[in-house]
A and B are shown apart, each in its own frame.
Chain A
Amino acid sequence: MSQLANLRVLIADDHFLIRQFVRNTLKESKIENVQTAADGNETIDLVQKSKLAGQPFDIVFLDWNMPTISGLEVLSYFRAKPEYSDTAFVMLTAESEQQNIMKAIKAGATSYIVKPVSPSDLGKKLFEINEWLKRKRQVSSGMFN
């Protein structure tokens, strides 16, 4: 089983098409532990509940423009909480302007992916994000052990 297969992923996007597109790509990488959210409130709720249940998400894909709360606001909300510092928050959005990319990176996005993205490019990004997660967790365990 690949290292990716153990990842827990949340896909937050108001469009069914994108949720399914990302789910398909994750499945190709053997990632089956996937949940979806269709707006910002639901995203916050699911991320918090999974953490409380002791099964936090490793990766949260965030669309920028979602109903109730935007992906950028969700990102800022969790980046203000140190207990979520090991979670990869990845913007997956059609917002492609440099100033928005910088805004998201400054807010703490682990990665920024502009739609449309091909399954193979998304797959490559997954490996990069997994490397980030490994580094982050090595640092965290070094700090607290």
Chain B
Amino acid sequence: MTGMQQKQILLDDVLAKDIMTAVTRSMRETFSVTVTADPPEYGEGIVALAGDISGIIGLVQAQLDGTLILCMPFEAVKDLLPIVLGKTTPITHEMAVDAVGELTNMIFGQIKNELNQRDHQIKLGIPCVVTGKGHFVCQFHRGKYMIVPFHLDGKLFQVYVALHNSPRLD
């Protein structure tokens, strides 16, 4: 523990705004597309995210730990990749996995920076990507979570944040 006081992360609308900014910016700058966000959903306990490709990063702070997930359907990634790779390049599953891995890095890198500018002093682990048609990602802890839904041309994808021992502003 450092001598400096760490501020605890809250699953609140401020963090939701950080997530929305990071996601919309990453999509706009990398793919020149606009995504829209729905209001965040808050909950506690086990929740399952359904998607085809999930980028997952662990988060640690002195007082808590957590999980950050970007969960996308393959169809949404398949719409995005030709913008960078060209329309004639066949989009493979490996390319989609690569793209979600990099988006995970970019999105949660920005969120980490925002949080640390507010003295949260968080660290992120190495991201991993889990794939499988319609796979579920379940968090087997009883902590609180927040899901921010996004839409890209009618296709839904989600960003999920779960924290252990983090109070939520009600």
Contact = CB atoms under 8 A, between A and B. Distances in A.
A48 interface: no
Contacts, number: 51
A17 B113 contact: no
B111 to A, nearest CB: 10
B95 A116 contact: no
B85 A116 contact: no
Majority DSSP secondary structure for residues of B touching A: helix
Given A15-B102, A17-B84, A24-B84, A118 B110 contact: no
B126 to A, nearest CB: 8
Given A15-B101, A17-B84, A97 B26 contact: no
Interface residues of B, number: 21
Contacts of B99: 15-17
A139 interface: no
A115 interface: yes
A95 interface: yes
Interface in A45-87: 65
Given A94-B105, A94-B106, A116 B26 contact: yes
A-B pairs, top 4 by smallest CB distance, nearest first, are A94-B109, A116-B29, A15-B102, A96-B113
